[in-house]
């Protein structure tokens, strides 16, 4: 796990996220970065992971080498008033007022599960990721998109609600990248092959033992 907080000397707007988060229900892979030019990026848990209350025990899982832009929000289950009732009012949450059983508090909202972000995912400015969403490796979420459904690997989505814009690569290339999983390589191996990674020289990377 990363212990270094700032990737660049003199830049306190960008942090390695797993050196910042403390909540054990938030898991972040190495080298994933968060940039915030409005607020202190050290306050990511407070400002960006919302409605994440211990009662649900849901997790935010973010992979390695992700890029998360300023203002991205992860909205968890307590933001969801239930649709399985005649009313969306959260009566069970205010159990004292209405003489209800305290143990039924979670009936006030619908639980859609964890938020899971793959590896090498780029999430754009002020995007919103809703509870239960899984975003695949290599995907891109456009600025201010509201993601309510799963996103396939290497797919670009945008809009409200977010919809597929296009695939980043053809089907064969995506399959090869998913098998390659370069983000799981030892760091020295990644460092040696950065020229090929950033120049899209996939054929050479596939030949590496």
**Given 12, 52, 81, 204, which residue is catalytic?**
81
Predicted pLDDT of residue 3: 86
Taking only the tens place, the pLDDT of each residue in 14-52 is 999 999 999 999 999 999 999 999 999 999 999 999 999
Residue where the block lists tokens 């090929």: 196
Predicted pLDDT of residue 69: 98
What integer is the mean pLDDT of 62-76?
98
CATH architecture under which domain 14-168 falls: 3 Solenoid (2.160)
Pick from 150, 154, 80: nearest CA to 121: 154
- Give the chain's end-to-end CA distance (angstroms, integer): 25
Q: How confident is the model at residue 157 (pLDDT cuts 50, 70, 90)?
A: very high
Domain chopping of the chain, boundaries: 14-168, 169-209
Is residue 204 part of the annotated active site? The answer reads no
What integer is the mean pLDDT of 95-110?
93
How does 62-90 read in b/e, with b if 16+ C-beta sit within 10 Å?
bbbbbbbbbbbbbbbbbebebeeeeeeeb
What integer is the mean pLDDT of 141-156?
98
């Amino acid at each position: 796990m990363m212990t270094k907080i700032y990737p660049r000397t003199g830049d306190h707007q960008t942090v390695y996220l797993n050196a910042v988060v403390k909540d054990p229900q938030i898991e972040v892979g190495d080298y994933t970065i968060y940039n915030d030019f409005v607020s202190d990026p050290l306050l990511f848990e407070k400002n960006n992971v919302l409605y994440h209350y211990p009662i649900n025990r849901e997790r935010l899982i973010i992979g390695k080498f992700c890029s998360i832009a300023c203002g991205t929000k992860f909205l968890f289950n307590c933001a969801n008033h239930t649709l399985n009732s005649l009313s969306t009012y959260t009566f069970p949450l205010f159990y004292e007022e209405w003489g209800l059983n305290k143990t039924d508090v979670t009936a006030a909202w619908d639980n859609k599960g964890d938020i899971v972000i793959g590896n090498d995912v780029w999430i754009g400015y002020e995007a919103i990721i809703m509870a239960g969403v899984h975003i695949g490796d290599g995907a891109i979420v456009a600025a201010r998109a509201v993601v309510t459904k799963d996103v396939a690997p290497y797919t670009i989505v945008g809009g409200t609600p977010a919809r597929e814009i296009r695939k980043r690569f053809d089907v064969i290339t995506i399959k090869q990248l998913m098998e390659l999983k370069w983000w799981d390589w030892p760091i020295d191996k990644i460092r040696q092959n950065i020229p090929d990674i950033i120049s899209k020289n996939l054929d050479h990377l596939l030949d590496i033992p």
